[in-house]
Amino acid sequence: MKFIYTLFIALGLATSASSFADNGTVSVMINKQTYQFDRPIRLSSVLSIVADNGDWYWPAASAFNLTNPQAEREKAVVLSEIKMLLTKFDEDSETHKALQNLHEQVSLWTVSTRIDMPISYNRARLFFEDNPMFQEGEYWIRLNGRPDVVHFSGAVVKPGAYKHQSDTSVYSAVHTVKKAVDADRSHVYVIDPAGKIEEKGIAYWNLDFAQLMPGSQVYVPISSELFSNKLKQLNERVAALAVHRVLPQ
């Protein structure tokens, strides 16, 4: 079912991008509805179309540039790096198992190049710097209600969405999810709904009691080697790729 959902989203993105590709126009898909404009348009004007159509949770809203293939390219690079690292470890080792598991996860990710900007109707109306102009091209804005899950990936036994609990710290949330044998036990990467990445401590000596926002992602890294930074670099790259994930709604 997960593969079918991912395939459906991927095909939908490709179909949408090709269907509204008119030269000289700005095409913006808001959730599943496409709007076309014959000139550049500001974010506030786009959001005004749907601002009152739902109880939107703006901190989790996101925008993607459908004409920029950067995210797909980065996904291909990450998968290639994982395959290369798989050759460096014995097939019976815990690190090999963790890498194989990570390759399967990332292969199923649907990604699209995310635009680094806040999506908020009120902020766009009040602050010029938060009201950018959409130039000629194809874009996708995702809006939804307040999420009730946190998405776990990486060195965990069962990656996926877990129920978000209010007033839950990063430490508490991470320790409710069963981790792989070769998981890093000292820190995780938290990607908040706005796409900001932070490294958070989860060991007794570096505990971070910051709370998790609903809709966040938690990437549990594979434990790094003592005399090599290859796995650390891979973990950082996967966390950066997670910013561009199209998460299930």
- State which fold the 2-67+113-142 domain adopts: Ubiquitin-like (UB roll) (3.10.20)
CA distance 120 to 19: 27
Q: Which DSSP helix (H) or strand (E) runs through 79?
A: helix 70-86
What is the distance in angstroms between the CA of the first residue and the CA of the last residue of the chain? 14
11 compared with 138, residue with greater pLDDT: 138
Q: Where are the domains of the chain?
A: 2-67+113-142, 70-111+147-242
pLDDT band with cut points at 50, 70 and 90 for residue 4: very low
Query: Is a pLDDT exceeding 60 seen at residue 71?
Result: yes
Is 70-111+147-242 in the same CATH topology as 2-67+113-142?
no
CA distance 234 to 239: 9
pLDDT at site 129: 95
The dihedral region occupied by 66, where left means phi > 0, alpha psi between -120 and 50, and beta the remainder, is alpha
> 3-31 in b/e burial notation, b at 16+ Cβ within 10 A?
eeebeebbeebeebbeebeeeeebbbbbe
| Residue range 229-248, pLDDT digits in tens | 999 999 999 999 999 999 98
| Residue range 138-183, pLDDT digits in tens | 999 999 999 999 999 999 999 999 999 888 889 888 989 999 999 9
pLDDT band with cut points at 50, 70 and 90 for residue 5: very low
pLDDT at site 20: 42
- Indicate the average pLDDT of the chain: 90
What value does the mean pLDDT take over residues 69-95? 97
Task: Note if the pTM is more than 0.75.
Answer: yes
pLDDT band with cut points at 50, 70 and 90 for residue 206: confident
CATH architecture of 70-111+147-242: Roll (3.10)
Nearest residue to 63 via CA among 218, 237, 243, 198: 243
